[in-house]
Structure 1
């Protein structure tokens, strides 16, 4: 949506008309529940936490797979709210058949489960397991040039470990919960920020509890069918993967030459489902990037071997063709990131300035803005239960002190004064990011993380700068990301009349769960599969990208191959100009202009997953044309089932791999001549 770690959610631009429709649906859903609200401790239930643990763990595994394969992870808010509804409704139906009467399932409990599970899997999405944390290991060190690159010293290696990862995540993620609590009323009520993702979740939850059992039954059946089909398909594919280059993944859909250039359909229902959730323009941009890179640029640059780069070094070296692949994708990502950073900060400052002026004018003129009964009821429920300021201040101070003391023990290269600097500057940055996300739905935490990375890399020196920079990146990014997610969830709670105390507690429990589940999920993959292999399934493209960002921050651009820097300048400018044209063009034209950050991902890993996701888009397009109402109802359900089914198959597949149980058949395709 994090350089496409969650870019598919970030690129959504919810228009005014769409927000008006959401508001209308919310008002309809709010009136249904208008009698009386339960206190916050009644909105939190044991069954809710059990459901949150199951759903959060499932999506942590799914998100980890997506992180370690392509780095693209969509928002799972819709899917988690849906699974919460399915799980509790099934639970209550089973109890009813046994004669046990259960507590009614409310939209507040549904919101609490969605919040807790989302907080859990968001650690897997934004915790850096496929980027800066993995970029510290020996394999990524060697892929980035090893000791041949200045600043890329053996002292900049830190192998993954469950203990230090859990400790680091607890320190840098939990503090994010306390940053913006004092400003929640300003952001949600006073400034009336939309937080489109949070509003969309509220619309969905209100819809679940207003459509009736008949509609819910259809969704449950649709989810179960797609889940089982996806799980069984993953199981079936496993039988044909006895060796590394075997299986349906190797099927030359468009011919062997296209397969060599990484253009093929790899039969991954996970990415088909992801494509169904992601906006069409994201999938279209991925395909354009794949055609531009592997279809045109890399074959042309490859012919210049011996002129632009030496013949006697492997293609995977940063001084060979892979250097162009990595650094050109970095340039495009930075161009897109810088443009959106400046844009969102500018919009934020202008919006704040106009609101302050309007407030002053209203106070002078004595104007009272009227609010609807629904708005007043939502505001009353949101501010009724106060979260004390001392709790936020005390929590932030204690965790900051613990971090300043503890993080240098985890990363000796990251000095205590860098940690202190981060905790001084992150609160205003977190506010800017949350405000911008409230206006545009763009969470730019990864851009703030890169700013921290470059600053610490430049200040730490060549000996220890790479490792210190990647650790600092995680520190900035995690705090700002968690605080933004909390504000989005507060928006959902505000619109579903859920207690802020229940939301904060759910978020805290989910964050704690994610800090444990996510490292365990990571090691499930890390021990069972060849993570970081550029020719394997789990390429983890962002690991090499983040390490090279740190190297650039330490030593500049001296490590780039011939003419790479000049082409990087061009792609950086291309990323800025493409965004500018997209924003200035009429809506009918702008919606078809590709997104630079999405285009950049296939530069390093190929176009196979883009084809999968475009198949998902095509399915949604056809379904909408045939039956738009059914598609609106069932697309999120079917997509969630496809993603979860094949994602869950990873668990037994990992256990079989760890037990050295190999599939019985190798399916491979060779040229006829």
Structure 2
């Protein structure tokens, strides 16, 4: 489930890391020739007890990280580098210790490393696609109270660990079987690249060659140092946050007025790390979106208070300024999503037609490769194909399991959500395999997974189908979960098959490690979310964990059941404008990419999806991420190779350290242990009033 792709707004464009560089640099390295003398273990020996234990430990860690990111801004970077590195470090350290005392029975192989990485990212993938910070949270009474309209018993569902965990277990495994019968066509016949899966495979292969292992050990050491710094700095900041609005995270970097419009650097090492992993234009797009919205649009609209919307509505009401923020952001996301869905479907159909109408010439040899190199490359391909075709999962078994799990889901989901009827779920499961194929195929071509785009469109379709009076809001949000889980896990599994193909990992071991990781995610994700949910006011726009996508997803459902009636005055014109803008920006970028080759201007066109995120949240996290980009840029100017080798490790450490501090911080909050100091910033005039009051 590598995410260097446009995968769901929270992480939907989850974010191309420096892994992509690995592929281009190592394409001509004939990997299997280097491992010619290394025995490949059977699939049962690839899934070891130590691999599962390591995966469980790392899954818990990564679930906390992803949950925290989901609940803050929803921007989630690719954590595959960290998963691969930490998996390598833990098991390598364990096997080295056993080897010294003469108890090592099975050496650590790249296949086992692949199993760990697959299992961990599958688990953290559930943390992303589970909807605990989006469609599930959008059902809660607290988020519903912010939306005003549609806030009735039929359209609200109280969150609990029991039904959340049950729902995930019912719907999350179906997608794994929807795409299995097509694995040979995707990997061997069409030879789809799956760039992130390929990059991950090269990364793991490099870990297990002598030179790569040395570099991996250095990367792990750098990651650990970065982790310790981030953890201790987050601990230090905690002491100054006695009440809301206190601490370094509220530092008015650019002045009080800019701070009031959510422009400040909040000293978050997490998002500095995220910024180091994201492409430069992602971070710039976020900053542009923040400037357009909080710097220009919202102050102008707020000046119309009492004219465009009632001056009496609360700041969080969708009938006030919050409505403009939410619905305009939704419009831009839907415009971007519609463009990419249509583009992906067109690309898929054209590619399939081209492949079916043309005969492949398997005798073609790249001109700059010698005959000897060609033989080695051919050996690589033959060896990979041989192991990929071993231990296959029978198509009959896969299809039977899909039907059986779909039947279970059709029966069970209406009990969890009475607003959905069995025929709604049946329709979803009939459509899902087609969308799963399109998503997996498109992901293989472009590295984009559009899972949450399909989910958002499902919200509109099913919520309008059911209707407001019959619980259309809940029906739409629940159907989003059904569709997202199928489409997302299908493309993730095919990525894993590609990684397994390039590391000689058995397809069976890849499948079962994906199943194990999915099970871990279904169990851990609700528990981790509940940990935060009980410790903090989740979904509060002004709180520590605003969870922006809860209200955004509910807003999409309200659009489905109420249409334009739910929009404030003049909001419709702005919504239409930004919806069209989301399509046009992508179209301009694509046209420039195809026809303008001299300057590469298309590289400087901002992403509408990225621009839309700060419309609701503000610019503080975009500034953090731009600081991360600046650090990476200066590092690359000084020593590009060292930055390429170690920047992902530094970024992963920054993300892991601060994210894991949230665990002891939440525990302290649960036992009512509060920070001792409140560090607050006041304007000079307010400070003078406070001094005068204290003197009096």
TM-score, normalised with respect to structure 1: 0.95
Structure 1 residue 176 displacement after superposition? 1.0
RMSD: 1.8
String of CA shifts for 1:72-121, please: whole Å, max 9, x gaps. 11221122111111111222233345554353221111100000011111
Shift of 1:395: 1.2
Any conservation in 2 of the 1:10–1:441 contact (CA below 8 Å)?
no
1:491-533 Cα shifts (integer Å, max 9, x gaps): 1111111110110110000000000000011001100011000
1:317 aligns with 2:324: no
Does structure 1 conserve the Cα–Cα contact (< 8 Å) formed by 2:8 and 2:449? no
Contact conserved, 2:133 with 2:547, CA < 8 A, in 1?
Answer: yes
Residue 539 (structure 1) aligned with residue 546 (structure 2) = yes
SS of residue matched to 1:384: coil
Matches within 5 A, 1:428-577: 428-463=434-469, 464-577=471-584
| Counterpart residue number, 1:158 | 157
Cα displacement string for residues 157-215 of structure 1 (whole angstroms, at most 9, x for unaligned residues): 11111111111001111111111111000011100001111011111111222225432
Matches of residues 353-392 of structure 1 in structure 2 within 5 Å? 353-359=353-359, 372-392=378-398
Q: What CA distance in whole angstroms lies between the structure 2 residues aligned with 1:212 and 1:313? A: 60
Find out whether 1:594 has 2:606 as its counterpart: yes
Secondary structure, aligned partner of 1:598: helix
Indicate whether 1:634 and 2:641 are aligned. Answer: no
Match of 1:643 among 622, 637, 655: 655
1:187 corresponds to 2:186:
yes
What CA distance in whole angstroms lies between the structure 1 residues aligned with 2:505 and 2:44? 11
Deviates more, 1:27-36 or 1:614-623: 27-36
Contact 1:29 1:207 in 2 (8 A): no
Contact 1:8 1:278 in 2 (8 A): no
Task: Name the residue aligned to 2:374.
Answer: none
Instruction: Call closer, same or farther: CA 1:212–1:196 in 2, change over 3 Å.
Output: closer
Alpha-carbon distance between aligned partners in 2 of 1:438 and 1:173, rounded to the nearest angstrom: 21
Q: 1:24 corresponds to which residue?
A: 28
Q: CA offset at residue 69 of structure 1?
A: 0.6
Shift of 1:140: 1.0
Instruction: Report Cα offsets for 1:635-660 as digits up to 9, x if no partner.
Output: 11111111111111111111111111
Alignment of 1:39-438 (within 5 A): 39-101=42-104, 103-145=106-148, 149=149, 151-210=150-209, 211-359=211-359, 372-438=378-444
In the alignment, is the contact (CA less than 8 A) between 2:23 and 2:202 conserved in 1? no
Q: How many Å separate the matches in 2 of 1:584 and 1:13?
A: 26
- The Cα shift of 1:317 comes to 1.0
Distance (Å, rounded) in 1 between the aligned partners of 2:103 and 2:612? 55
Aligned length: 662
Quickly say closer, same or farther: Cα 1:74–1:13, change in 2 above 3 A: closer
Q: Secondary structure at the match of 1:90?
A: helix
Q: CA deviation at 1:326?
A: 0.4
Q: Which of 625, 634, 639 is the matching residue for 1:613? A: 625
Q: Which runs of 5+ in 1 are unaligned?
A: none
The CA deviation at 1:11 is 6.8
Q: Give secondary structure in 1 for the equivalent of 2:389.
A: helix
In the alignment, is the contact (CA less than 8 A) between 2:12 and 2:452 conserved in 1? no
Q: Displacement of 1:55 after TM fit?
A: 1.1
2:381, 2:99 → 1: CA distance? Answer: 36
Find the residue that maps to 1:378 and give its secondary structure. Answer: helix
CA 1:584–1:192: 2 relative to 1, 3 Å: same
In structure 2, the CA distance between the partners of 1:92 and 1:36, relative to structure 1 (3 Å rule), is: closer
| Cα distance, 1:462–1:486 mapped onto 2, change above 3 Å | same
Partners of 1:5 and 1:126 within 8 A in 2:
no
Instruction: Give, in whole Å, the separation in 1 of the partners of 2:74 and 2:14.
Output: 14
Unaligned runs of 5+ in 2: 1-5, 366-376, 686-696
Distance 2:362 2:55 in 1: 45
SS in 2 for 1:7: coil
CA distance in 1, matches of 2:190, 2:213: 37
Residue by residue over 1:204-242, the C-alpha shift from the partner in whole angstroms, topping out at 9 and shown as x without a partner, is 111222225432332121011001111111111111111
For 1:601, what is the secondary structure of its paired residue? helix
